[in-house]
Amino acid sequence: MTNYSTLLLSLTLIAPLLIGCSATSPRAGSASSPYATPSAESRSPLEAERLTLKATRYIGDDDVKAEQLLREALAHDLYHGPAHSNLGVVFLNQGKLYEAANEFEWARKLMPGHPDPRLNLALTLERAGRYNDALATYATALEVYPGHIPSMQAITRLQIRTGRTDTQTRGYLEDIALRGDSEKWRDWAKFQLTRSHSSR
């Protein structure tokens, strides 16, 4: 019988983003930006989108190639949110946590209504051991996209693992038990609910 208290549930990075972005950009020329700011005339959003889409074929298999394509995309349009988000995924795959966090911050600002950059930023903070910051960032993903299952799974797992459960944890578990991304997640949530009930 599987012991779900020791079940390892891997938190897979959010799938590479394929959508465009029309949100307000971070302040051009800011000191924290590693990129040159293109003029309005030199920007090519369609080419940036094409290169970003092409890069998604390589993420996880050839991250060097993916990084090259994503940097090319950002050279065409610095404000293409999905390119920043996917470059963050590449950096996180490579263990470059600072660089990953920086790209996810860009993506978060460029895509304010999308949960994925926030979720991936939280995963980066969690990997760096910054659990309180990670929990707060997971919560912002659920604020912009209530009911987002990957974010719900991530925050609940970290809450339980670190003993930081709150009044929302049980509700999250009930949702995951019904709508979890996989049978393992659903079974894990059911086990946690059973264990919580038996400890009362």
What domains does the chain contain, in order, with CATH numbers?
A: 42-111 (1.25.40.10), 121-200 (1.25.40)
HEC string of 148-182 equals CHHHHHHHHHHHHHHCCCCCCHHHHHHHHHHHCCC
Q: What is the pLDDT of residue 168?
A: 96
Amino acid at 198: S
Note the pLDDT of residue 196: 76
pLDDT tens digits, 34-61: 565 555 557 899 999 999 999 999 999 9
**What's the pLDDT tens digit per position in 161-185?**
999 999 999 999 999 999 999 999 9
Rounded average pLDDT per 10-residue block, the chain, 200 residues: 37 44 38 53 89 96 97 97 98 97 98 96 98 98 97 98 96 98 97 80
